[in-house]
Amino acid sequence: MIKSKFQQEPAFAVEIRNLVKTYRSSFKGNPDDPFYKRIFTRQTFCAVDDVSLSIKSGEVYGLIGPNGSGKSTTMKALLGLISPTSGLCKVFGCDATRVDARSEIGFLPENPYFYKHQTSAETLKFYGRLCGIKGKELKERVDELLDLVSLNHARDRRLGGYSKGMLQRVGLAQALIQKPRLLVLDEPTAGVDPIGSREIRDLIFRLKEEGVTIFLCSHLLEQVQEVCDRVGIIFEGQMVNDGTLEELTSIENQHELVIENADDGLLESINDLVRQHGSSGAKLVRSGTPRSSLEKLFIDTANERKRKEKK
């Protein structure tokens, strides 16, 4: 009666409660221990220590932290690739260690490698068939996804000749093959050029609009800030901060005004006004011309170039 168990839509798409994962090292012990203990004692290493987080349905959640902080371990526990030492992971109310949970998860690993002897169309068909999709439905789904990740032109080329960015896009397409409700992305833009990175980001927005819940790990903090509704910061296996971007990043006692086409007189008046209120503690912290990002400059230049080439 598994089906009836999940009839009711659970409150959270992802629920991780008090997750602990320890690994045993090789046969090495404390050097102060007697000899036999050194030989026969195994040290334990705690990769994730009492991590709890929850992601609402349709939310984009970013987990950030330095290398070795426990991001991947948390992800693997959610995907059922490892069993928690203690605690639990649930996906739409279903225990993540169960195979059933995987029918609603799409996963893009960091730097995905696929079978080089296959083409992108064959790869997607293979993963689609594993999910029980077949016939016309599978063909249409493969065409749709190759269009979505802009790989239709290379659909019959073997993956051995694909660039890193193209492989990343194949990875994203295979993650979406069974129309999952939860998408888990591990460094989704690793090794992808800024234009490809922007495309992936746009795709994340589009999926979010369609109600897909997204859980991503990334080192690119700017990107996480741009796409995520909520962020968790993990450090040495422990969750040190968790909340909405507004809660985590806003400086409550400061305000920002961006004025377009202001002349010097207006700016001087604003400065005077702030000075007049100086007794209440108000002061101008910073003023100047806002800068565009290097990424935006690169994309604008590339687009301009493409337009010229087309002409």
Partner 1 sequence: MANPQNRNFQKTSFISFARIRVIAGHTFTQLMRMKVFYFLVAFVILLWGAKQIILPNETGGDSSPEQELRLIKSAGFAAMNMFSMILALSATALLIPKDIEDRTLYTILCKPVPRLDYLLGKLLGILVLIFVSLIAMDLVLSFFLNQKASAIIALQTEQLVGIGMPQEMINEQLAGLKAHGVTMNIHYAAFAIFLKATVIASIALLISTFSSSTLFTQILTLVVIVIGLIQADAREYATVMAQFGESNTLSNISLAIAVFFPDLQFLSVEDGVIDGRNIPMKIMWQISIIASFYFAIYIVLSWLTFRKKEF
CA atoms within 13 A on the CB side of 85: 14
Q: Which is nearer to partner 1, 61 or 107 (CB)?
A: 107
Smallest gap from residue 282 Cβ to partner 1 (A): 47
With contact defined as beta carbons under 8 Å apart, do 66 and 233 qualify? no
With contact defined as beta carbons under 8 Å apart, do 182 and 174 qualify? no
With contact defined as beta carbons under 8 Å apart, do 200 and 192 qualify? yes
Smallest gap from residue 297 Cβ to partner 1 (A): 31
Q: Which is nearer to partner 1, 145 or 242 (CB)?
A: 145
Report d(CA 284, CA 300) in Å as an integer. Answer: 33
Q: Which is nearer to partner 1, 210 or 260 (CB)?
A: 210
Q: Which is nearer to partner 1, 214 or 239 (CB)?
A: 214
Smallest gap from residue 132 Cβ to partner 1 (A): 7
Report d(CA 283, CA 291) in Å as an integer. Answer: 22
Beta-bridge partners for 17 = 88
Smallest gap from residue 129 Cβ to partner 1 (A): 4
Smallest gap from residue 6 Cβ to partner 1 (A): 5
| Residues contributing to the site for partner 1 (CB under 8 A) | 2-3, 6-7, 9, 57-58, 76, 79-83, 92, 94, 99-107, 109, 111-115, 117-118, 126-127, 129-132, 144, 148, 171, 174-176, 178-181, 184, 206-207, 210-213
Smallest gap from residue 243 Cβ to partner 1 (A): 24
Q: Which is nearer to partner 1, 53 or 149 (CB)?
A: 149
User: DSSP secondary structure string, 125-141?
Assistant: HHHHHHTT--HHHHHHH
Report d(CA 220, CA 197) in Å as an integer. Answer: 11
Smallest gap from residue 95 Cβ to partner 1 (A): 11
Q: Which is nearer to partner 1, 199 or 242 (CB)?
A: 199
Q: Which is nearer to partner 1, 42 or 129 (CB)?
A: 129
Characterize 110-142 residue by residue with b for buried, 16 or more Cβ atoms within 10 angstroms of its Cβ, and e for exposed.
bebebeeebbbbbbbbebbeebebeeeebeebb
Strands of the sheet containing 94-95, edge to edge, are 44-56, 12-24, 86-91, 94-95
Report d(CA 186, CA 107) in Å as an integer. Answer: 8
